[in-house]
Amino acid sequence: MALGEDTSMVDRHLEDAVMRDLIFEEGSPEDRAYRFKHILIRDVAYAGLPKARRAELHERFAHWLADSAGDRRAEFAEIVAYHLETAVQLQIELHGKAEPGLQGAAVDALEAASRKAGTREDFRAALGFAERCLALGPQPEEHRLEVEWLRLEAVWRLSDIRRAGELGARLAADAERVGRIDLQGRALFAQCEDEWLGMGQSPSAERGRALAEQAHDLLTRAGDLIYLFNTALYIGWGGWFSGNLDIAWERFSEAADFARRVGNRAHEAEATGYMGNVRGFQGRAAEQAALYQRATALAASSASRVSKARLQRMYGTNIGRSESIEAGWEKIAAALPVLEESGDRTEVGSALETLAELELMRGRPAAAIPLAERAVALWEEVGHRGFLPEAERRLAEALLDLADYAGAERHALRAVETRLADDWYTVASTTMALGRVRDAQGRGDEAEVLLKEAITVIERGDYRTQYWLFYLPANAGWRKPGRPRG
């Protein structure tokens, strides 16, 4: 038994506790278990134990559970980690340090729990276990760096790009010093988003892309196919932002290949979906439909709820814009709770901004405003200048439709101020939004300049199916007869 004591004596004590109505028995006769009648009874019983005895019992229970679980040991990783960690903390309180063997076992258990949480895409839990593991001082240094990466990956997955940048810089330097090029490459990649899209004083697409390429080279040398998927995807987004969809296609295809080679169908589904987006923007609808169909099948065959939700959000965005607003809305709304539960704020913000867009397409600007406001607040919290301007633009468009010209101007200007200089689509879309506001304010000459500028910018990129969105406001309909000129 977990107590490691004479079973007949334990049985007598248990029977006495049952008779006193302190605990009750559950389970089968072959596998008996007992539970306290009330949490207060449990707490009083626990408080009555000396700390040394508590530490001993926590350690014994952890080892008993791990040994008795057999092949199912991984299922109980979190429980084992909790009891070993508690035993360590109690020993430190009593003696100023813990037994090395116990401390090492607790470190290993917390690391295993973090990896397990990451595998099931619960990155909040993964982060918590990794930080608790680091607090116990894992040794040697390479082991500590492995756990540092678990923490960094969870931070990045939770869209905390500022902290990911800070942690990534430290881990990259430490990993380079000990010759771990795999961890160095991953850490460099984790810095990319903050360097390129963060809200710092001088974000730089050039530096962000250089980091991504450097990370890609290191991971290629290390043969780290799992994380090469991430760098290839990111470099592909660099092509997307700059309007070079051929580069986006090439890198998204590369990412899909990396995922295929390691058997990760969830990642392959995501990359294939992005490939579909490229073909859609290039006007190759039949190829887009085939790629979405393949991505959907891949996601359905994977165990990842989050990847399925991401693809559902992506597909809902496409059909909402091109086929059915209602069908698109339903798919995105269904995906949103899963994305929120996962902590992927990048996906949550994208979903909210698209729902606001669909409400505008429905002719319901008042319904779009709270969605766009939530997206703006989230992007400000994350510190993401890649998506914040688009959410600000949606808010400006909704207020414009409600004839709140002052509010529309405020958010349109904010969109222009926060956009990245080389994000061509967003430069064009935010310029167009400000042009529409100026037109509504009666400042026709300014509006005409801005709307023509938006067309010039959008035509620099390969966004062929989006051109009409910019041509329409700039043509005859943008200035109504009799509208005052500024």
pLDDT of residue 80: 95
d(CA 201, CA 349): 23
CA neighbor of 354 nearest in space, from 338, 341, 368, 340: 368
Contact 336, 377 (CB under 8 A): no
Contact 360, 172 (CB under 8 A): no
pLDDT of residue 35: 87
pLDDT of residue 479: 46
Global pTM?
A: 0.84
The model's pLDDT over 127-186, given as tens digits with 9 standing for 90+, comes to 999 999 999 999 999 999 999 999 999 999 998 988 999 999 999 999 999 999 999 999
Cross-strand partners of 28: 31
The model's pLDDT over 224-259, given as tens digits with 9 standing for 90+, comes to 999 999 999 999 988 888 888 999 999 999 999 999
Residues with Cβ within 8 Å of 13's Cβ and at least 6 positions away in sequence, in order, are none
The model's pLDDT over 84-142, given as tens digits with 9 standing for 90+, comes to 999 999 999 999 999 999 999 999 999 999 999 999 889 999 999 999 999 999 999 99
CA neighbor of 429 nearest in space, from 459, 464, 470: 470
